Structure 1
């Protein structure tokens, strides 16, 4: 044993005397002998450094004078020195009792410049690259920067952009780094081809996906930029589309893009297999959890036997059942749909199985990718937080809520194992998108001539999820100004609180000018995912100037009472119930939107009335393959005096182009005449309206352009004026009976890169001689 020990000591002594050499690769050798014994040095000598202080080098070593070290310590020291990014080469060797560390310093970047770039500004490219002024030059990082710049250009449709680098040495061991960029031409998408589709045409499927064919104005929307990740997301959109329309066996066989280098254009081909169309068969609920009454859950089922199979209906049912059993004390319950296909009858029977599920808790929620939207805006859309029971249904609901905000172009939620077996980490990946809109609208009326309006809307103000909108508009006789603000989570609760301030000046009346200003305070909360309740207090002050006897008798009576006290003040309380199941807020194809409002005015102010209004719209696909959408809208309203007196003329209901196209604002209903002279609208107490509309892609125009043609028929009636007979004087009231008006027309809707644009022409087919007509109207908005 002693002889063996002496031999090892001798080998170690020889190694220390001759020197151990370690290169950047981390190998430690001496004449073919590897050091295995721990060694000790008395001092550390740093060589080759000129800008980096020796203490910085020593601080990154795992070796200290007087302490033993071995090969592992040398390897780790080399790795640490390279990791600083300060050195291009590191050598460590031992000479006697001295550890010699020889370094070659990286050059310092004096300046980073970009040449040849026009489509992407310098500031954006500096964010993309890692090379920084006064940072250490590193060739590996430089190559990564070249690829990052190419990726940035590919993201804007310039996949053939080339990037080279040029290094210019300057004094003091510094270097200028120049990226030479040839931006090339835009890489377009010449066509998107679908193979294997029979139930739906290429145009309908092209509407479903986000990748679009290049067109005349594609440079504004950038939707024709090919991206492989976006194409994978399009596959999922197609699956959802087919699954929700009965095609449970649908699958995407392949999707790829071929680049024609001669034209610098992609041809995208998506091959699908639709399969058969199914309807729901038998529907039932089973439970393995004691205490759960499955019969009480049956009314929550959205799927109905005989209805076309829809994955969305299945998912909605799962969410509803999950919510109910969670409130009954089973937070970990898992609802699993079990489908049984009958290939002969093409039915799918579904059993919803309620199981106890795995007990798991949310350890943390990580949010990534949000460059503008604040973290808390995203977190508050979750009905669970750190420490809560993990529930996949609540996660899916949060994903839908985040998508419905329209703040993000993509939302993805995934899970990772936590620190313990029963812990789960939620990873939320989002990508911010533009949430501002700039809108214009206008038209022509008999009373106000050309009219125009401009509004600016921001739906995610300062990334806080707040809504703000300002608008101004008018014509030759009117001016309108408005400002609205909404905080969707007031005091940290799911309460939408906001206000509207407005001012209007109208000189279109005969014999006076009306000025109205006021404020509306709002508070709302969701009752369910589809039903919403809002309440409001509204204060309005009205003043009249330039009053003459030319005004109509009832208006003059109301105006004189107002002038006597300086103004007419209205204070009212209201509530509104809104029901919405629309599949889209921009171009609904399926669903219902309904609204019911009651407003009570009194509260010690000058007006006393109860006003009730309602409106409902139903959308339905008349032809999926041709993308023909049908819409039916009905509405009505009634106002009644509550203070024992007649209604003021200005508290009546007025109807016009917003309800029945082809007629001007306040264009139909009872009117006041002075002999043969039309003095103005008197309003009514009751109205009803209805309309039918059909829209389809514009014939003979590529559907990628986003043009749709619509035809409509509107009808409405307004009657029941409640002005006191004494206020009319010698003037007369006409049109106070339930006379219907009707119009037909056509319009064009364009989903332009600037935003939705609508133009219509309406022809009144049933009208009165004294009605105010407005046959043409348009409006547009754009996002920013």
Structure 2
């Protein structure tokens, strides 16, 4: 039996019908051959009787037969009528029986499908397979449809890499002319990708290129990894991402010549080989602007070019310049201006000179934008991805960019944006055809670190809440003795503007490992985020927080006494804080012109007390991070400079001060550096200032890529210091004392979650500091 095909028992009836038809034809011949052997037999029926029809009306059957009462028909025409009724697909059996002047048409209708079931499917759920089927409950059973559905299920398994899966339909007869359709699936074992290799790659190693592909080699954890199975659709996607990878790095002639897929001798695995032609790497040469539009002055558009000669060629950089130039044209009221990049190659210097030619495009307007396929997502969510509306001049580049924005939403598994001629030659219609996909998730998980122990996590998130493009999430984290519940809501187009409105809130009760007190908080924080440039954004926020510092009963029961500055915060009880603030960020690490380098700049301040409340302070923070990939992108270098200051009116509260963590300095326990109480417990008191410089490098360990192992080294240099009240602390512990730490890391990316092992050694420290020479962190969701 071939894969995805079947011959149900009902086909036996069809064969019986053929025999019946043949017998009828023979009897007809026998009836007509003896009287007049040389004259074709003809019939004329004054009456036609229909027998066996239940749902199908007699008139419908007669319309298929095409025989009118009193009409003379030949034997051939009678056979054609029989074939027409049988070919309608409505009947399981059909008989034409002439009885004198009466034609009796006996039919047996196909049953109605009462239930559809899929059995034996583990790799693909019913929710995935059932929508694929053309056979539906309460519709007429069709053997051809069921056969086609079996093939569709088989194809679904092929896309999952299970090429040996078979599907066998079974029909269960029920009363009242009903049937149950059951698809029995034998999945077999998925065909793995045993080896991924490349031919023709001189500039990048196999290890680097494998990281680009969505397909992965089967490794130690092949029983969990799903992307190590062979799937043709995934190979086509990999070819596209490889092309994008090379062209964004200056290889304009790159081409995937072919992908060879060979079966192993045991026929349970594939060996994939990508045959590449890299070509030469090109840099940008001379950038010029020319204009064929009289009102477009070249000097007005010079500021749009942000490409420097010698910079690695990137199509994204060219597209950005064109978008900036066309935006300037719109500002100046120049319609239908198009920018054509005219490229001149210089093979000797391996540079590309580009002349951005401004030309007059055709006078074409957008008649309308039609959106289809969005059963849940509102039209306006898709429509606001366009920077144009009906009646605006048509710009093909803007339509392509809108299509990319629609796909980037993550709401659709497929989004096709095409144009067609409208009601006249000067108008176009933009057709948007989308296929929705699930956008919500509910997960459980766990975190573990040596310093903080284990946390259980439960979270719910919906990226397209009520089809409005809004994001909603709830997170719950708990230990045995504390926990955190928070929510976050984001409306990306507040009041129809390019402004995001966010609302966050939460409840928490926490006792960090370095503290003997408990901090409880309840907060609500609305915010507005404005884009101020292609890579920059400004956020304005307000936060209302009710907090209190409370005693740990076990600590008190053991006869311990809190330091005065902690006891004062406990005695204050609940405190209300109202703060307003802003933060500015500029990030080119993902969207910059250089795919191998980028930086992050972040700065923000929060002002408490301006709107009343029990707390009065100004809290400032800043961060600068730079990243770069070197040595054919095998090694990632990262440098970070970060700091924070809290300036309180009076003594700052312990719940507001800075405490060391692995996000500040590695190699020390949480709260392990900075001001400390001089009592026996030497409790960490936190500081009003922190500053740190972190340098790190991440690199491959030379192991097979599918193991997910990488290494790293780092150097941290920083400190936490500064208190308003220095009584009762270890002498000079609030002064600025720089610490330095060197370390090595092992990164292991597993299907259960990313693991990081840190091994550290403090080079500079104080006697009262608490070191941490080893740390393990893991985060997993299931």
Normalised TM-score (structure 2): 0.81
Please give the secondary structure, in 2, of the residue aligned with 1:671: coil
| 1:521 counterpart (526, 538, 541) | 526
- 1:80-103 per-residue CA deviation (whole Å, 9 max, x = no partner) reads 9899853469999999x9999997
The aligned counterpart of 2:581 is 574
CA RMSD of the aligned region, Å?
4.2
Q: Structure 1 residues 761, 687: CA separation in 2 closer, same or farther (over 3 Å shift)? A: same
Please give the secondary structure, in 2, of the residue aligned with 1:246: coil
Residue segments in structure 2 that go unaligned for 5+ positions in a row? 1-37, 70-80
| 1:485 counterpart (467, 485, 489) | 489
The aligned counterpart of 2:617 is 609
- 1:240-280 per-residue CA deviation (whole Å, 9 max, x = no partner) reads 11111111111111124234473232222211110111111
The aligned counterpart of 1:760 is 758
Matched, 1:692 2:695: yes
Contact in 2 for aligned 1:490/1:497 (Cα 8 Å): no
The aligned counterpart of 2:287 is 283
Q: Structure 1 residues 535, 181: CA separation in 2 closer, same or farther (over 3 Å shift)? A: same
Q: How many residues align?
A: 719
Cα offset, 1:747, TM superposition: 2.0
| 1:743 counterpart (741, 744, 747) | 741
| 2:504 counterpart (495, 499, 519) | 499
The aligned counterpart of 1:10 is none
Cα offset, 1:491, TM superposition: 3.9
Please give the secondary structure, in 2, of the residue aligned with 1:714: strand
Q: Structure 1 residues 193, 61: CA separation in 2 closer, same or farther (over 3 Å shift)? A: same
Alignment of 1:11-90 (within 5 A): 47-48=50-51, 50-54=53-57, 57=60, 86-87=90-91
Please give the secondary structure, in 1, of the residue aligned with 2:218: coil
The aligned counterpart of 1:13 is none
Q: Structure 1 residues 434, 134: CA separation in 2 closer, same or farther (over 3 Å shift)? A: closer
Matched, 1:444 2:464: no
Cα offset, 1:640, TM superposition: 2.2
Q: Structure 1 residues 656, 88: CA separation in 2 closer, same or farther (over 3 Å shift)? A: same
Residue segments in structure 1 that go unaligned for 5+ positions in a row? 1-30, 34-40, 67-76
Q: Structure 1 residues 138, 555: CA separation in 2 closer, same or farther (over 3 Å shift)? A: closer
Q: Structure 1 residues 584, 139: CA separation in 2 closer, same or farther (over 3 Å shift)? A: farther
Matched, 1:715 2:712: no
Q: In structure 2, what is the Cα distance between the partners aligned to 1:597 and 1:340? A: 46
Q: Structure 1 residues 360, 159: CA separation in 2 closer, same or farther (over 3 Å shift)? A: farther
Q: In structure 2, what is the Cα distance between the partners aligned to 1:780 and 1:435? A: 24
- 1:376-399 per-residue CA deviation (whole Å, 9 max, x = no partner) reads 544443334555444333334334
Please give the secondary structure, in 2, of the residue aligned with 1:186: coil
Contact in 2 for aligned 1:516/1:542 (Cα 8 Å): yes
Normalised TM-score (structure 1): 0.81
Q: Which stretch shifts more, 397-406 or 317-326?
A: 397-406
The aligned counterpart of 1:251 is 255
Q: Structure 1 residues 110, 441: CA separation in 2 closer, same or farther (over 3 Å shift)? A: closer
Q: In structure 2, what is the Cα distance between the partners aligned to 1:165 and 1:474? A: 50
Contact in 2 for aligned 1:672/1:733 (Cα 8 Å): no
The aligned counterpart of 1:424 is 429
The aligned counterpart of 1:188 is 192
Cα offset, 1:190, TM superposition: 1.5
Contact in 2 for aligned 1:434/1:783 (Cα 8 Å): no
| 1:621 counterpart (607, 616, 629) | 629
Q: In structure 1, what is the Cα distance between the partners aligned to 2:543 and 2:282? A: 51
Cα offset, 1:650, TM superposition: 4.7
Please give the secondary structure, in 2, of the residue aligned with 1:206: helix
Contact in 1 for aligned 2:675/2:729 (Cα 8 Å): no
Q: Structure 1 residues 567, 179: CA separation in 2 closer, same or farther (over 3 Å shift)? A: closer
Q: In structure 2, what is the Cα distance between the partners aligned to 1:83 and 1:501? A: 66
Q: In structure 2, what is the Cα distance between the partners aligned to 1:589 and 1:407? A: 29
Contact in 2 for aligned 1:689/1:717 (Cα 8 Å): yes
Contact in 2 for aligned 1:683/1:721 (Cα 8 Å): yes
| 1:352 counterpart (356, 360, 365) | 356
Q: In structure 2, what is the Cα distance between the partners aligned to 1:511 and 1:732? A: 18
Q: Structure 1 residues 433, 121: CA separation in 2 closer, same or farther (over 3 Å shift)? A: closer
Contact in 2 for aligned 1:44/1:65 (Cα 8 Å): no
The aligned counterpart of 2:306 is 302
Q: In structure 1, what is the Cα distance between the partners aligned to 2:98 and 2:325? A: 72
| 2:147 counterpart (143, 147, 162) | 143
Q: Structure 1 residues 270, 365: CA separation in 2 closer, same or farther (over 3 Å shift)? A: farther
Contact in 1 for aligned 2:50/2:58 (Cα 8 Å): no
Contact in 1 for aligned 2:505/2:522 (Cα 8 Å): no
Q: Which stretch shifts more, 295-304 or 649-658?
A: 649-658
Q: Structure 1 residues 153, 513: CA separation in 2 closer, same or farther (over 3 Å shift)? A: closer
Q: In structure 2, what is the Cα distance between the partners aligned to 1:184 and 1:607? A: 65
The aligned counterpart of 2:676 is 671
